[in-house]
Amino acid sequence: MPHATDDRNYRLPTSVRPARYQLTLSLDPGRRVFAGEGQVGLELAAPTGELVLHAAALDLTRAELRTADGPRAVRVVPAPASETVRLVLERPAPAGAATLELAWNGHVSDGLRGLYQAAGVAVTQFEAADARRVFPCFDEPGFKAPWALTVEAPAGLALLSNGAPERTTEAAGRQRVAFRETPPLPTYLVALACGALEARPAGAARGVPVRTWAVPEKLALTAFAQEVALEVLPRLEDYFGLPYAFGKLDQVGVPEFEAGAMENAGLVTYREAALLLDPATAALPVKKRVAEVITHELAHQWFGNWVTMQWWDDLWLNESFATWMAAKIVDGWRPEWRVWLDFDAGKAAALHLDALRSTHPVRAEVKNPEDMTESFDVITYEKGGAVLRMIEGYLGEGPFRDGIRLYMRRHAKANAVAGQLWAALAEASGQPVPELADAWIGGPGYPVVEVRREGRRVALGQRRFYSEPGVAEAGERWPVPLVLRYEDAGGVKEARHLLRGAAGELTLPGEGEVRWLVANGGSTGFYRVAYDAASAAALARHLPRLAPSERIGLIADQWALVRAGAREPADFLDLLAAFGGEEDYAVLDELVGRLAGLEARLADEPVRQRFQRFVANLVGPAFARAGWDPAPGEPDALRMRRAALLRALALVAREPAAVAEGARRLDRFLGGDAAALEPNLHDAAVAMAARAGDERRFEALRARFKVEPDPALKRRYLTGLALFEDPALAARAEALAFGDEIPLQDAASYMGALLANRTAREGFWGALRQRWDAVQQRVGGAPMLLRRVVEAVGQLPERRHLEEATAFFAAHPVPAARQAIAQTLERMRQDVALWERLGPAVARWLAAR
């Protein structure tokens, strides 16, 4: 009969729990090996004849259990299916305290998980389930315990862990560092970094030392990240009403990193592009992105590290909260950045994914490590964050914060589940939070709210929204907290209404004519809105009276309804044309994104050229007034507006004069003239120069990519190589995708750019299928990247591509990306059908203008 550990979904029994880890790890990065030894203190709730710990790719060379009645020999039985080892005792151990003595050997990982090498830096990445590749341990979040680590490594290298160094000794070219014991931590938050790293001088946030680390040649790019941490850490302490718990804070830019960052307690690791920048040359979106990522990771020091989820099905408790909290804290620090609009852009991606039949709930069932990896998506992060924002808006900022503080105090240093968060929020607010929250977190999808207005009377309805035309809804209903914003003779007003059932009705307070009505005021709700024809027309007439977030939401909702077959394409195009005088850069970003999506999918060349002329006429005069060069002291808002207009003119309309000027300015910039390109124009200039570029420019970008220290610029040059539309250069760009020149962390995004390139996509799609085994082997140690490669296939536009992709993934299943494959193919089916009906509709609309 098979043992329970032969099941890949095996969970450790709770009758044996770790009480304390005291371990020593000896690193030899040059030989890519390590050795470990030490003791794990245990609490046995009942007598037992065996212990089970996680261990993957480790060789246990010694194991002995000591209890009150003496030591016991242990027989080690690996269980590869569940990545565990059974420690079979020579005689049963009694209930009570015990100490497990262990020694083991292991290897540095070839991927970006466990302990891996990144350009001279050995670093760990343990979330979700890879601490077991370095330590035999209880590798589930419900098992929290203090960690007392000692690490041996070559002398002369920086050596960092969660705690501050307490004792350091050196002998025979080796260093031995004993780190301060941590508060109770789950295994996924334990971390080490060892290598050629240097730090800025430490700053202090209310007595907490803060240092930001990078490889020596990038140390100059750490100042902004240090400033962000020092600014936001006190703000987070104030919000939670609790001091930072982990003694010190080290932030490390890692040369290769699978995700964006990792919130290890006291030692936060980052992809370099999420931490390092030069404030003098960084575009505003780069600064905002770095600030939001840092704040997200620091919010985790409370929500996730101080109070930890019990199991991975509540991963959203960590990620949703940190996503929402990052926007809230950064907005308080830099309100002029309007980061809630960036938050809304993330919410838009979640709305798109959650309209598929293959979506999943925010709180998704997780059975094993592969399920955990697939949980790191926009549903977990952005939908969950948007739902929290919606709940805060319903409860009010004060009661919501009070509930979070209560939750933090009640579950300090321990684990919790979603229901305990809802209970704390309900207790603090006096509102039925579980009813509201469970409906949004526990099930998939969201509603479209239908609005019909006659005078001051508003009739409301809801049904589940699917992006595929003709899909029948199954009768799901949500408690929808509506914020209705409208204008009458008394000015702009707000009304709130909780729509509980399939339909509802209210009368707007006030008197006189209602000029317009927005049913998702401030765009804080996670739902679509479908207005009756008269209400939609009124909004189009009064666009300047709407908040920027509401104008963005109007465009997004109308496009979603076109995709679903619920609105005519001509009506949507009429709406876009009404934005010709738009001046807000965030709204322009949304507008340009929709225009770019239309242009990219128009297969008929004469129709595409007419559409490009329409776009040029829409935005060209505004860009001509803005010009290429900013005035002295020009605010960020105007610089960002110029950048949005240029993207529309040069990248969507492909206006020849703008493309040529952008390429000339990029050449000057690459030649050393930093003033040739305002930083916010750099991204568009690289793209336009690459699309029309020759071999000289291809080699110039390739050479600059190899030596550029600034990670944001480096990434732009790399992406630029995938955008060349000369067939010979596109083929050279394709070849790079399968070599070592492209860093592993950037492989998926580079492949995605090739698949989006009209010239490169056919050749690369064929090569990707032919060399799939090699691609899987390269990115297999970074499953999140493999998922991104699968998702990139969804950019292929034609029905034959859909048929090829469907057949290919049926013949080449990817267990670590099952969900991604299902979602990608569903999106492709919808996109192909959409553009088969939308192309002729766009042609008719253009012909009628």
Please tell me whether residues 184 and 75 are part of one structural domain.
Answer: yes
Q: Is the pLDDT of residue 605 over 90?
A: yes
Please tell me whether residues 462 and 437 are part of one structural domain.
Answer: no
Q: Is the pLDDT of residue 473 over 90?
A: no
Residue 346 is part of which domain span?
A: 307-441
Question: Shortest CA distance to 498 belongs to which of 552, 431, 430, 398?
Answer: 431
The answer to whether the CB of 165 falls within 8 A of the CB of 194 is: no
Please tell me whether residues 462 and 416 are part of one structural domain.
Answer: no
Alpha helices by DSSP H, 62-175: none
Rounded Cα–Cα distance for residues 493 and 508 (Å):
9
Query: pLDDT tens for residues 538-574?
Result: 999 999 999 999 999 999 999 999 999 999 999 999 9
Question: DSSP string covering 402-432, please?
Answer: HHHHHHHHHTTTSEE-HHHHHHHHHHHH-S-
Handedness of CA 834, 839, 840, 843 (dihedral sign): positive
CATH code where residue 190 lies: 2.60.40.1730
CATH code where residue 532 lies: 2.60.40.1910
Residue 713 lies in a domain: no
Question: DSSP string covering 219-240, please?
Answer: GGG-HHHHHHHHHHHHHHHHHH
Please tell me whether residues 323 and 421 are part of one structural domain.
Answer: yes
2 compared with 505, residue with greater pLDDT:
505
| Residues 259-279, mean pLDDT to the nearest whole number | 97
Edge to edge, the sheet with strand 121-125 lists 114-118, 121-125, 192-195, 158-161
Quote the pTM value: 0.96
Please tell me whether residues 491 and 416 are part of one structural domain.
Answer: no
Rounded Cα–Cα distance for residues 40 and 146 (Å):
10
Number of domains in the chain: 5
Please tell me whether residues 663 and 736 are part of one structural domain.
Answer: no
Q: Give Cα separations from 826 to 64, 356, 369 (angstroms).
A: 53, 7, 24
Rounded Cα–Cα distance for residues 65 and 31 (Å):
31
Measured in whole angstroms, the distance separating CA 832 from the mean position of its chain's CA atoms is: 27
CATH code where residue 780 lies: 1.25.50.20
Residue 29 lies in a domain: yes
The predicted pLDDT at position 1 comes to 67
Rounded Cα–Cα distance for residues 55 and 80 (Å):
9
Name the band, by pLDDT with cuts 50, 70 and 90, for residue 149: very high
Residue 134 lies in a domain: yes
Query: pLDDT tens for residues 802-833?
Result: 999 999 999 999 888 899 999 999 999 999 99
Query: pLDDT tens for residues 214-251?
Result: 999 999 999 999 999 999 999 999 999 999 999 999 99
Name the band, by pLDDT with cuts 50, 70 and 90, for residue 283: very high
Please tell me whether residues 38 and 185 are part of one structural domain.
Answer: yes
Q: Is the pLDDT of residue 636 over 70?
A: yes
Rounded Cα–Cα distance for residues 801 and 784 (Å):
24
Please tell me whether residues 585 and 682 are part of one structural domain.
Answer: yes
Q: Which domain-ending residue is among 160, 195, 230?
A: 195
Residue 658 lies in a domain: yes
The predicted pLDDT at position 302 comes to 97
Gap between the terminal Cα atoms of the chain: 75
Known binding-site residue numbers for Zn(2+): 296, 300, 319
Query: How big is the chain, counted in residues?
Result: 849
The helix (H) or strand (E) run that includes residue 811 is: helix 799-811
> What is the average pLDDT score of the chain?
94
Q: Which domain-ending residue is among 174, 195, 216?
A: 195
94: DSSP letter? P
Please tell me whether residues 544 and 454 are part of one structural domain.
Answer: yes
Q: Is the pLDDT of residue 148 over 70?
A: yes
Alpha helices by DSSP H, 636-693: 636-646, 656-670, 682-691
Q: Give Cα separations from 202 to 198, 199, 223, 580 (angstroms).
A: 11, 8, 11, 50
Edge to edge, the sheet with strand 516-518 lists 491-499, 480-488, 516-518
The answer to whether the CB of 465 falls within 8 A of the CB of 450 is: no
Residue 297 annotated among the catalytic residues of the structure: yes
Query: pLDDT tens for residues 828-849?
Result: 999 999 999 999 999 999 999 8
Residue 267 lies in a domain: no
Residue 326 lies in a domain: yes
Please tell me whether residues 480 and 360 are part of one structural domain.
Answer: no
Q: Is the pLDDT of residue 96 over 80?
A: yes
Residue 298 lies in a domain: no
Q: Which domain-ending residue is among 158, 173, 195?
A: 195
Rounded Cα–Cα distance for residues 86 and 109 (Å):
23
Question: Shortest CA distance to 759 belongs to which of 804, 708, 723?
Answer: 723
Please tell me whether residues 481 and 418 are part of one structural domain.
Answer: no
Residue 201 lies in a domain: no
Please tell me whether residues 50 and 187 are part of one structural domain.
Answer: yes
Which is catalytic among the residues 83, 256, 272, 297? 297
| Residues 414-434, mean pLDDT to the nearest whole number | 94
The answer to whether the CB of 802 falls within 8 A of the CB of 832 is: yes
